[in-house]
Amino acid sequence: EDKVAMIQAQDPELRALLEILHKPTSERTSSERSLVHNFEVFQGILYYLLQSGTSSRKLFVVPRSMRKFITVKFHDFGGYFAVDKTVSKIREKFWFSGMVAYVKQHVRQCIECLFLKQPGGKVQGKLNPIGPGLRPFEIVHMDHLGPFVKSTQRNNVLLVLVDNLTKFVRLRAYPSTETKYVLRFLDEFICDFGAPRRIITDRGSCFTSRDFEDYCLTRGIKHTLTSTQRPLANGQVERINRILIPAVAASTQYQTQRDWDHHLQKVQADINGTVSKTTGRSPFELLYGFVPALGSNLQELFPPDTEHQRSVHGLREEARQAILDSQTSAKQRYNQRHCDALHYAVGDMVVVK
């Protein structure tokens, strides 16, 4: 007991309380009486009086030098329980100022908990959608799909570009994901539609190469890389990829499927001619301002479409607003299950599972 009392007396905060409690009650100021109202010295040891209805319990006041020891005893050697249960167990016998915050910090840094336990509560990281551009191909998403069976033309990957306003898709097959093929693709695209203001890609080596960065820099293109293990950030092209795989497979005519790249123009036209659930229009119509003809006698069944006379700008504004509305709804649903991400500083220890 003498040793415990000595450890308490060495704590500046507790020593101040003990000095007040050792004074006669009549000599204490009103602020001092308020400060030690819930404390008592019993057999030389400082206790906190926890009120419970009409009764009270004496809890040992833990000096700062013993807080780590007590927390380790009840968390690390007590079943690795979460913050609330650990605090409840400690409070059965002990008390110290700021206990909840201290235990919470200890549990957050517990190596065993980080590796073995699934974090409870909401998942970190709220959704921040990339809004649609003001014009077609202002913001585009790019990605590779494959590898496929090597075709008769020696191609085995598909390069996909999606406009985030009209949802227009551009497809090209190449022998590999090398940067030179990506740049060849962009040269052709820029000749047809002009340079995009922003390109969003994953962190594939062809997109992180010096040649690709120099290409974007010299043409005034802002290149945005998505974070690792987060395909949602490049969701525009990820959704198209889910459609492309069965579409490309269905277009092949040989059992070996080595002709998969022979029919990409047809696959591209089919996707661009299909009405988007989000915009209510096909990518082709939003880009060119009219619905493509069917190219068969079935066209004669339909009267002249006077709606084509509508302003292309008006169609795109409607589509843009529909995209924004859809993104707002998706953001609200997503953020209900997520919380703000923690902010990390240089030097912080993190665990990668």
Domain-embedded: residue 131:
no
Residues 230 and 159 in one domain: yes
Among 45-59, 146-160, 225-239, the range with the most confident prediction by mean pLDDT is 146-160
Residue 256 clears pLDDT 80, i.e. is over it: no
Q: Are 331 and 195 in a shared domain?
A: yes
Do 107 and 189 fall within a single domain? Answer: no
Over the stretch 195-216, which tens digit does the pLDDT of each residue have? Answer: 999 999 999 999 999 999 999 9
Residue 76 structure tokens: 């690390």
Domain count within the chain:
2
146: left (phi over 0), alpha (psi -120 to 50) or beta: left
Q: Are residues 164 and 283 in the same domain?
A: yes
Residue 167: band (very low, low, confident or very high) from pLDDT cuts 50, 70, 90? very high
CATH number for the domain spanning 60: value is 1.10.340.70
64 and 186 share a domain? no
Q: Which of 85, 116, 147 is the last residue of a domain?
A: 116
Half-sphere exposure of 337 (CA within 13 A, CB side): 4
Mean pLDDT for 119-139 is 81
| Residue where one domain finishes, among candidates 82, 116, 150 | 116
Is 346 domain-assigned?
no
Q: Are residues 185 and 255 in the same domain?
A: yes
Q: Are 124 and 339 in contact (CB under 8 A)?
A: yes
Based on the fold, state whether residues 160 and 238 are members of the same structural domain. yes
- Cα dihedral angle (297, 300, 304, 307), rounded to 10 degrees? -50
Among 227-236, 284-293, 301-310, the range with the most confident prediction by mean pLDDT is 284-293
- Whether residues 39 and 177 share a domain: the answer is no
* Residue 290: per-residue pLDDT: 84
Tell whether 353 is covered by a domain. no
Tell me whether residue 159 is in a domain. Answer: yes
Give the integer Cα–Cα distance in Å for 107 and 75.
8
Same domain, 87 and 194: no
pLDDT the model gives residue 79: 87
Query: pLDDT confidence of 305, banded at 50, 70, 90?
Result: low
Q: Determine the pLDDT at residue 217.
A: 96
My answer on whether 34 and 183 are in the same domain is no
Q: What is the C-alpha to C-alpha distance for residues 54 and 51, in angstroms, rounded to an integer?
A: 7
CA distance 71 to 107: 9
Would you say residue 78 lies in a domain? yes
The pLDDT value recorded for residue 220 is 95
In this structure, the answer to whether residues 248 and 197 fall within a common structural domain is yes
**Last-in-domain residue among 48, 83, 116:** 116
- Would residue 164 count as lying in a domain? yes
* 132, part of any domain: no
226 and 169 housed in the same domain: yes
Q: What is the CATH number of the domain that holds 209?
A: 3.30.420.10
Residue 268, domain member (yes or no): yes
Per-residue pLDDT tens digits for 54-70 = 778 899 999 999 999 99
Q: In the chain, where does DSSP find H-type helix?
A: 2-10, 12-21, 30-35, 67-74, 83-90, 99-108, 111-116, 179-193, 205-208, 210-218, 235-251, 264-272, 283-288, 312-336
Q: Is the pLDDT of residue 194 over 90?
A: yes
Using alpha carbons, list the distances in angstroms from residue 30 to 12, 46, 175, 239.
21, 20, 84, 69
Domain that holds residue 200: 139-298+308-338
| Mean predicted confidence (pLDDT) in 143-153 | 89
**Does a cis peptide bond (omega within 30 degrees of 0) precede residue 147?**
yes
| Residue 234, pLDDT score | 67
